[in-house]
Structure 1
Amino acid sequence: MKTLIVFYSNTGNTSKLAKIIGDKLDGETLEIKDQRNRNGLIGFLRAGFDAVTSNVTIIENFNLELSEYDLVIIGTPIWAGRLTPAIRTFLIGNSEVLPEVAFFTTHAGGGSSKALLQLEELAGKEPLACLSIEKSKLKEDSSDSEQEIDKYVKTLQNKFE
């Protein structure tokens, strides 16, 4: 199974999870870079506003053919209960060429169900699996999150056996 993990990460939590999943599936990773500054108080407020209003942003170009992969796993942090503008922009521009998909989110304590629905709607297809991990569990490398990640990875592997 040729796998690509596409993700956006502002604080490093989603990046950490993407790398864990990538290592377990022997997949490549592609970090989506948002051209807007999302740091500091103003960046934080703009990020929340853009997420709530379903705004898009400008992302860096990448040179990968998504259709060459069997599976594209898409990861995003949850901002105000929604997916990030960078992942929204990625999906709007690439949904037509996506092969099978799976999703994962990181969050501070909930709100992932709405974001997962947004991911599915924008991708235009049902995911093979979904994973949502609270950032505090990810930071402390809890056995709960490890089990959830392993179950997610096993589900994906089973789909391609």
Structure 2
Amino acid sequence: MIGRKPKKTALVYFSLNGNTDYVANRIAEEIGNQADLDVIRLEPKKPYVDKEPMKFVKGGAAATFGAKPELKAYDFEPKEYDTIIFGTPVWAGTFAPPLRTFMLAHKLKGKNIALFINSSSGNVDKCLAKLDKYLKKTNLIATLSLVDPLRSMSTEDLEEIRKFAREILENKE
């Protein structure tokens, strides 16, 4: 469309122990030069416990019971973006609560959505199904699932990240 300002891409994620942060940075490196990209790391006003075993107990309970933590301020205006990349660790079979807060706070209808999910088990089906409930009326364009990327990033994982980035870029054209 002539005169239409190209829309941007937002990479929105939560990371407690660095896995999702690591992958978000790799994705940003892959698409940052080719897309107008804004990176938004979600941070709860009240930080989660990050020491075992309480991080599993408290984080798992928050995820299971649908907590919506208050977030520190971030800059996001939905109408500026046509594509949103969400990143989350798997907590108790679902996504981290800060994403729930974000998704409920913003109208995402009609947006292109890409999801990257990090887990310890590799089983992300339940998490994807729960995310699907919050992303109705959006266009899912790409998914990526990695297992403990900080501990075991392989050349295959890096290639999967590149493939994920290409899928996002192809859907922006």
TM-score under structure 2 normalisation? 0.83
Quote the Cα distance in structure 2 between the aligned partners of 1:23 and 1:51.
30
- Among 1, 8, 17, which residue is 2:23 paired with? 17
Gaps of 5+ in 1: none
Structure 1 pair 17/98, CA: closer, same or farther in 2 (3 Å)? farther
**Structure 1 residue ranges (4+ consecutive) displaced by more than 4 angstroms after TM superposition:** none
> Is 1:70 aligned to 2:82, yes or no?
yes
> Is 1:150 aligned to 2:159, yes or no?
no
- Among 83, 91, 100, which residue is 1:88 paired with? 100
> Is 1:49 aligned to 2:65, yes or no?
no
- Among 128, 141, 152, which residue is 1:116 paired with? 128
Instruction: Tell me the CA shift for residue 138 of structure 1.
Output: 4.2
Instruction: Tell me the CA shift for residue 67 of structure 1.
Output: 1.9
**Is the contact between residue 69 and residue 98 of structure 2 (CA under 8 Å) also seen in structure 1?**
yes
Gaps of 5+ in 2: 1-6
Letter in 1 for 2:77: E
- Aligned-residue RMSD, C-alpha: 1.8
Number of residue pairs the alignment of both structures matches: 160
Deviation string for 1:99-136 (max 9, x for gaps)?
Answer: 3211111111133111122222212224111111111x
**Is the contact between residue 78 and residue 106 of structure 1 (CA under 8 Å) also seen in structure 2?**
yes
Quote the Cα distance in structure 2 between the aligned partners of 1:157 and 1:130.
13
Quote the Cα distance in structure 1 between the aligned partners of 2:55 and 2:70.
15
Instruction: Tell me the CA shift for residue 158 of structure 1.
Output: 1.4
**Is the contact between residue 10 and residue 39 of structure 2 (CA under 8 Å) also seen in structure 1?**
yes
Instruction: Tell me the CA shift for residue 97 of structure 1.
Output: 6.3
Deviation string for 1:76-118 (max 9, x for gaps)?
Answer: 0001111011111111111346732111111111331111222
Instruction: Tell me the CA shift for residue 44 of structure 1.
Output: 3.2
Structure 1 pair 98/13, CA: closer, same or farther in 2 (3 Å)? farther
What residue number does 2:12 align with? 6
Structure 1 pair 152/96, CA: closer, same or farther in 2 (3 Å)? closer
Letter in 2 for 1:130: T
- Among 6, 10, 33, which residue is 2:43 paired with? 33
Letter in 2 for 1:25: I
**Is the contact between residue 81 and residue 115 of structure 1 (CA under 8 Å) also seen in structure 2?**
yes
Quote the Cα distance in structure 1 between the aligned partners of 2:143 and 2:108.
20
Task: Indicate the percent of aligned positions where both proteins have the same amino acid.
Answer: 26
